[in-house]
Structure 1
Amino acid sequence: MWAREGRDKDGVRHGQKESVRWIEGYERVAELAATLPGTRLVYVADREADVVALMRRARDLETPADWLVRATHNRSVANGEKLWGHTCSGTMLGEITFTMPARDEQKARPVRQQLWSRQARIADGQGGLLEVTCVVAREVGAPAGNDAVEWRLLTNRPVSGVEQAVELIEWYRARWEIEIYFHVIKNGCKVEGLQLAAIDRIERALALFMVVAWRVTYLMRMGRTCPNLDAALFFDPDEIRGAHLLTKKKMPATPPTLNDVVRLIAQIGGFLGRKSDGEPGAKTLWRGLEQVHATAETVRALRDGLG
């Protein structure tokens, strides 16, 4: 396990460089790829992983897993141009539209981006060159008061048309699900507040909370993408009953849908359900599930006691 070192009084951060962890992460994915020959594995990372050493390591391993990194450095390419200008000097491939999820104080909103992509050769830091593909996704028509969403991505994957560029954008957007998952572990499960001294106790706690966080994020995503599925596929009967008890709602005559129960649970956790609020997020689901779980346990205890 690894945690970032704090800075000293001079603002210097000691310990192992974080870039080493990004490389080690790719190496673990590469090892997994060897055991899954029929599966495409993709290593997706944000701007902190924009280090040439990572790309060079992937090349040296013969790229057993694809990689996609959000670029932060406007490097020089072999012909002397800067990478981002080089990419956008080509023909625009097309456009992509999607909904940007709500975050912090910003509400969810539609985004339309124009796409460019070009291959380039950049210095590998050891006197050689790396072949990379750069994709630039630039928002057009951003609403007043909102910063335009622009992503510059580097990858080993070739792009021959808009379909391949869109696939890479979707890969990058998928990282948001991972961020939500770890947000639930950190802030919902409050693992940092456990202050467990022994590594084996930390690992056992994480094993439990990772399952809890997975369920919260899974319910949130499925409630949005498959809202009309039967709630009984995701909750046991006592959880469904507990959600109705806590919100003082009568159990419906027909089986409730997944979205019906998800919204009830989120309401218990503080979700207001106004038209402008969109769908429930992980935070209100986590809070609501805590209470629903306790109520379901009470219902079971009462039933068993009366039985």
Structure 2
Amino acid sequence: MRAGIKESTRWIEGYARLAELSASLPDTRLVYVADREADIIELMRTARDLGEPVDWLVRSQHHRALPHGERLWSAVMADKPVGELHFTMASRHGRKAREVHQQIRVKSVTLADGRGGELSASCVIATEADPPVGVTPVEWRLLTNRPIKDFNDAAQLIDWYRARWEIEMFFHVLKNGCKVEALQLASIDKLERALAVYLVVAWRIARLMRLGRSCPDLDVELLSRPRTEQARGAPVYPARSAPHPGPLPAGEREHGLRTSKLPAGRRERMIPASLAFPGEVMHGATRAPRRV
């Protein structure tokens, strides 16, 4: 963070940069997705003043006052649910995977813009129904510039927000796996070249991590090329590698670099094709939310 700059500025700058990019992508929908820290009226006002060239979707942090004396979340929760969502929440941080059933409520609202005017927004609140005893219910309160006509529109916005976790995992790998913050390069030029490489590596590793969790029984051979297809360069297999006895589930070699869980006779160090080659071998599958 630059010295003397408010942290909220980075959210506004991020949106402005996407707005500049949108001019060169007229046939592409760009969506600015952010967590609670981006629930600032300056961001929404900036988007409105620019003509909203990029859609925005943020997690609501403030129980804002509405023009007629109501409060934002209370006004939305006073309406009846427009539908329900069912999905599987993945395990993480010591929590087991579990099924989640949410009720969805939506409302179009008018917010004060902080300068004596008003701006229009839509609010979506997804609340978990009947969570397990002792478990914190899964609840999301979202604000967006997009109009919500029906349940399908609301479900799409929730899908977009849930995808934000993939971005969190990507930066976790980039910072803690690739250790980019420990780089001690003398110039911006060198730093940019290093990041160009690390960003690709981090994305590939994050993808393998997701496959290891969402498809634990996936055959690892689908993600790793045989020796004859390896790219030229440093050898990947040791000179005397014993033949492997059979396929190994991807969940046992999440990054494709572990050897501790390999059965006897299978100690080669394989590099996944998604790291060694530009072409994709396969696409991962996840369980999509079921709409009721």
Shorter-chain TM band: 0.7 to 0.9
Aligned to 1:299: none
Higher helix share: 1
Please state how far the C-alpha of 1:107 moved relative to its aligned partner.
Answer: 2.2
In structure 2, the partner of 1:217 is 206
- 1:215-260 CA-partner distances (Å, limit 9, x unpaired): 11223345666789886664332399959x99x88254xxx5xx83
CA RMSD of aligned residues (A): 3.1
| Percent identical | 51
Matched, 1:22 2:11: yes
Aligned to 1:106: 95
Shift of 1:89: 1.2
Larger relative contact order (CA 8 Å, sep ≥ 6) = 2
Match of 2:285 in 1: none
Provide closer, same or farther for how the CA distance between residues 161 and 223 of structure 1 changes in structure 2, counting only shifts above 3 A.
same
CA change 1:229–1:39 in 2 (3 A) is farther
1:172–1:268 distance in 2 versus 1, CA, 3 Å:
same
Q: Measure the CA separation in 1 of the matches of 2:179 and 2:131.
A: 36
Aligned length: 259
Counterpart selection for 1:250 from 244, 254, 257: 244
Question: Among 96, 99, 116, which residue is 2:105 paired with?
Answer: 116
2:77 counterpart of 1:85: no
Q: Name which of 37, 40, 48 aligns with 2:29.
A: 40
Aligned residue in 2 for 1:66: 55
Q: Map Cα deviations across residues 153-209 of structure 1 (whole Å, 9 max, x no partner).
A: 000111121111110100000000101101000111111222334322222221111
1:292 corresponding residue in structure 2: 270
Aligned partner (choices 128, 137, 149) of residue 148 of structure 1: 137
Against the structure 1 CA distance between its residues 16 and 226, is the aligned structure 2 distance closer, same or farther, given a 3 Å change threshold?
same
Q: 1:52 maps to which residue?
A: 41
> Counterpart in 1 of 2:281?
none
Matched with 1:164 is 153
In the superposition, the TM-score normalised over structure 2's length comes to: 0.78
Give the distance between the partners of 1:222 and 1:72, measured in 2 at CA.
32
Q: Which runs of 5+ in 2 are unaligned?
A: 231-235, 263-268, 273-292
CA distance in 2, matches of 1:229, 1:260: 5
TM-score by length of 1: 0.75
Distance in 2, Cα, partners of 1:188 & 1:130: 42
Structure 1 position 150, deviation (Å): 0.9
Match of 2:120 among 131, 137, 143: 131
CA pair 267-170 structure 1, distance change in 2 beyond 3 A: same
The alpha-carbon deviation at position 103 of structure 1 amounts to 2.4
Equivalent residue for 2:166? 177
